[in-house]
Structure 1
Amino acid sequence: MIEMSATERIFVRIRKLATLLSGAALAASTTLVAGAAPAAAAGPCGSSYTRVGVYPIKRGDGTRTGTLEVHYSSSAGKNCALTYGYGAYANTPSWKSVVISRADGSGRDPDSGTYTYYAGPVYVSAAGQCIDVQGTVPDWVTLKLDNVHCG
């Protein structure tokens, strides 16, 4: 049997503990990533929605302040919209607004306020119809699209 000094025994224990902790950290991170994937896969509007349009919201000088996204679910027959901040307005509390409706103005669904990430989601049933959609970031920069995503 090999005898170890007290110092050597401490180093062996430290290495075993480090190996054990590394394995536990790896297992925990794998569980967290695996657990997060299904939620992220659903998307902001729901699992049956597919993104059909991404539009930059820009000031008159061309500086981008936000993004307007439109999603559609053929199984639900609905469109969904969100407005995200961009640049100085991304991931920070700022005025964000989104409005969606059928092109005839009916079914209007708005959302606005001081949000960190995005305004929405908002929805409209518009199977076989065109929609109007509008995004604003911050409160004075707006993009409005009329008679789009006709289906």
Structure 2
Amino acid sequence: MRRTLATAAALTLSFTGLGVATAPGAFAATAGASEYGCPGSLIDTYNTPASGEVWGQLRLYYSSANGGTNCAVLLAKKYYGKSHYMEVGINITGSSNNKLDYGAYSYYAGPVTVTSTNGHCIDLGGGEDNGGIWAGRSLKGVHCG
């Protein structure tokens, strides 16, 4: 219960723009949207860094179904295959209805999906914790349309 509340609070803070800055890096995962349970096409990727090292990648997908559907997953890179805490969240900017997925995962967190996104911006965040070190990323007001 404490972890759940802490996660919701941390992700809410990340949606307000208090997240970790980005770092350069590449991510080699090639799986398609359907492998992660997201409808639509990949529209953007965002690395999740800690101390200049890329730990994972947020992936954002879009489908025109249901008035616009955005879906997100967080893929592990540094700790790929090793169970560790991961979280991903998405919502329509200005909404308090955050869609969250979190827990101990080895490969990815998510998918999380919001609908009726046409004409709105998206807030997106995610991160990983391993041994008390946090790697994360938050974006506010992206992919407006």
TM normalised by structure 1 equals 0.66
Which residue is 1:62 aligned to?
A: 52
Give me the whole-angstrom Cα distance separating, in 2, the residues matched to 1:41 and 1:113: 21
Q: Is the 8 A contact 2:93 2:123 kept in 1?
A: yes
- Taking the aligned partners of 2:111 and 2:93, their CA distance within structure 1 comes to 18
Given candidates 102, 107, 110, the residue that maps to 1:112 is 102
Question: Which of 25, 28, 42 lines up with 2:34 in the alignment?
Answer: 42
One-letter amino acid matched to 2:55: T
1:26-57: CA deviations, max 9, x gaps? xxxxxxxxxxxxxx6734234x4101111110
Specify which of 138, 142, 145 is matched with residue 148 of structure 1.
142
Q: Which has the larger helix fraction?
A: 1
Q: How does 1:91-106 map to 2 (within 5 A)?
A: 91-106=81-96
Higher RCO (C-alpha under 8 Å, 6+ residues apart): 2
Structure 2 residue matching 1:138: 3-state secondary structure: strand
Secondary structure at the aligned position of 1:137 is classed as strand
Q: How big is each residue's C-alpha offset from its partner over 1:41-81, in whole Å with a ceiling of 9 and x where there is no partner?
A: 734234x410111111001x211111101001112311000
SS at match of 1:42: helix
SS of equivalent residue, structure 2 residue 104? strand
Q: Is the 8 A contact 2:33 2:41 kept in 1?
A: no
Greater C-alpha Rg:
1
SS at match of 1:68: strand
Identical aligned residues as a percent: 34
Moved over 4 A (4+): none
Count of equivalent residues: 109
Q: For structure 2, which runs of at least 5 residues remain unmatched after alignment?
A: 1-31
CA distance in 1, matches of 2:143, 2:64: 12
Which residue of the partner structure matches residue 136 of structure 1?
A: 127
**1:82 corresponds to:** 73
Question: What letter is aligned with 2:73?
Answer: L
Give the aligned CA root-mean-square deviation in angstroms.
Answer: 1.7
Structure 2 distance, partners of 1:124, 1:71, is 11
1:67-102 deviation per Cα after TM superposition (whole angstroms, max 9, x unaligned):
101001112311000011112x11221111001000
